[in-house]
Structure 1
């Protein structure tokens, strides 16, 4: 019988942590678009700030904080788009009535 001696080289293992993205949106692109093109009362810029805060919280792993900031950014984006569209409609109506 052949007797094997234990190896003197320690066995090492590598652990890779893979963070699964739960799909929590942070609305950075929408907020950036609104801050450039539809910055109604600076709400687009405020939405961008909350979007960046949401992305930072998501990177840290605080999903509850990320969701709270994302909801605020989404609401500010909706108000910015609606306000800009409303102002554009009012301007079109005023100009069409004034040109008669």
Structure 2
């Protein structure tokens, strides 16, 4: 390609300023919607984990329902309803995670207390004998 195939006005050559009366082309505007605002999160993975682990009082299942609703509303473009469902899913996940951590923690505390109490008791007990159940229940009386 050589420069002979292009027709430039006499006052406008490449790499120089044009002084002709040509008007520049109009600008194109693309509306990006909420470009500055991030879409709401749906917390789906967290909800799945809470649903599969312990799931006390179905809190993890409720979080999973609201997570799916938030994802559906986000794909439909209803960001306000998606944000509401996202907030509910977040709080159900927090409650479920709290219960999921509390139950094993209570089990460990009870086991430690039982071992401390058994270590401080005098003698051994015959759990399979005639008075086995009564002796076992004496362990838990303070």
TM (norm. structure 1) is 0.75
Which residue in 2 is equivalent to 1:85?
A: 101
Which residue in 1 is equivalent to 2:47?
A: 31
Runs of 4+ in 1 over 3 A off after TM superposition: 17-21
Name the count of aligned residue pairs: 84
TM (norm. structure 2) is 0.54
Which residue in 2 is equivalent to 1:4?
A: none
Bigger-Rg structure (1/2): 2
Structure richer in helix, relative to its length: 1
Deviation at 1:23, TM superposition (A): 3.5
Task: Please give the secondary structure, in 1, of the residue aligned with 2:40.
Answer: coil
Match of 1:54 among 61, 64, 70: 70
Which residue in 1 is equivalent to 2:14?
A: none
Give the conservation status (yes or no) of the 8 Å contact 1:38–1:81. Answer: no
Structure 1 gap segments, 5+ residues each: 1-16
Relative CO higher for 1 or 2, CA cutoff 8 Å, sep ≥ 6?
Answer: 1
- Alpha-carbon RMSD: 1.9
Deviation at 1:76, TM superposition (A): 0.4
